[in-house]
Amino acid sequence: MSERRPGRDRVRELLDAVLAEHEDGATLDRLATAAYSSTFHFSRQVSRAARESPAAMRRRVLLERAAWELQRGRTVTDTAFAAGYDSVDGFSRAFSRAFGCAPSAMPPPRERGHWLPAPNGIHFHSPTVLYVDAEQEQSAGDVVALMVRHDLDDTDAVLAAAATVGDEEYRRERMPGHRVLSWAGDETTLAEVLRHLALGKLPWLASIEGGDEPDLGGADDAVGLRRRHSDISARWLAMTRDVERRGAWGDRVIDALCDPPESFLLSQILAHVLTFSAHRRQLARWMLSQSGVDVDRLDPDPIMWHRHASGGLA
């Protein structure tokens, strides 16, 4: 008999099963099995909780994932088969009905979000490839969640833009002697600013999780930093969601990585990270502009970002 776990989240189990199973044509029976439930009870519980059947949620979420992949350069053919469709034509028809345009004509993320209307606020979300409840995590009324998500997405956009800059411009000294924080080292070049921007959450995560001092070295090219930031984002988002769920922003951690050790409130850590991340993103924009990048398309405004992320409905 399968072990039954207390406090299980049936909707989350469905979402996990969708990504884990979709490539080889998951059926509702297999989704239910993955969630340790009978098909009938699983379907009824999910439908009641999500106001959407498991099959309908699966189709919609995979189409959202497909839109996200198309916006980032994946081919229509590869996207169609990754979404579980037997043919490109079938995928194109389903995609066009859902988004109102052919897959090949999907606008870029700055012009159109990848979410579809949902009765429950559950969507495929980038860049961390996690599922989130928009009613809780993306609500305009939840300022903490909104700012955390905006910080992660905007950092990803800045890193993506930096990947187009040649190495000479990327490493050109533009602000001799400049330091954002006295103890954090020089940030005189675009490469240095982006390293701090992409990896700056790692020491805080190590302190909160009780881990060892993180490795902040390695290659500092924009592509590599963006890849590392994607992994960091998943951990950072999970941490902030957990703290918010527990109402633990007043909890205090002892940062043994400091010399001497210091204590910080979790709310202080988040405020610190958001403040200096915003500063570095704007500093990086200025350096990108100096390098010939059109930064007008990198709108830093959380209002515009939220409108795009919520499909223009906010």
Q: What per-residue confidence (pLDDT) applies to 174?
A: 93
Distance CA(135)–CA(141), nearest Å, equals 9
Homologous superfamily of the 10-125 domain (CATH): Homeodomain-like (1.10.10.60)
Asked if residue 127 has a cis previous peptide bond (ω within 30° of 0), the answer is: yes
Which segment of 4-13, 137-146, 255-264 scores lowest on mean pLDDT? 4-13
Distance CA(185)–CA(287), nearest Å, equals 18
Domain ranges of the chain: 10-125, 143-309
**Residue 69: which region, alpha, beta or left (left: phi > 0; alpha: psi -120 to 50)?**
alpha
Q: Residue range 229-236: average pLDDT?
A: 86
Q: What per-residue confidence (pLDDT) applies to 50?
A: 61
What CATH class is the domain 143-309? mainly alpha
The percent helix, strand, coil of the chain (3-state, each to 5) is 60, 5, 35
Measured from the Cβ of residue 100, the count of other Cβ atoms closer than 10 Å reads: 9
Q: What per-residue confidence (pLDDT) applies to 78?
A: 94
Helices (H), 35-142: 39-50, 54-71, 76-82, 88-99, 134-137
What percent of the chain shows pLDDT beyond 90?
35
Which segment of 4-18, 30-44, 120-134, 220-234 scores lowest on mean pLDDT? 4-18
Global pTM reads 0.57
Instruction: Kindly report, residue by residue over 142-197, the tens digit of the pLDDT.
Output: 788 889 999 999 999 999 999 999 999 999 999 999 888 887 888 999 999 999 99
Mean of the per-residue pLDDT values for the chain?
Answer: 79
Q: What per-residue confidence (pLDDT) applies to 168?
A: 95
SS3 (DSSP) at 118:
coil
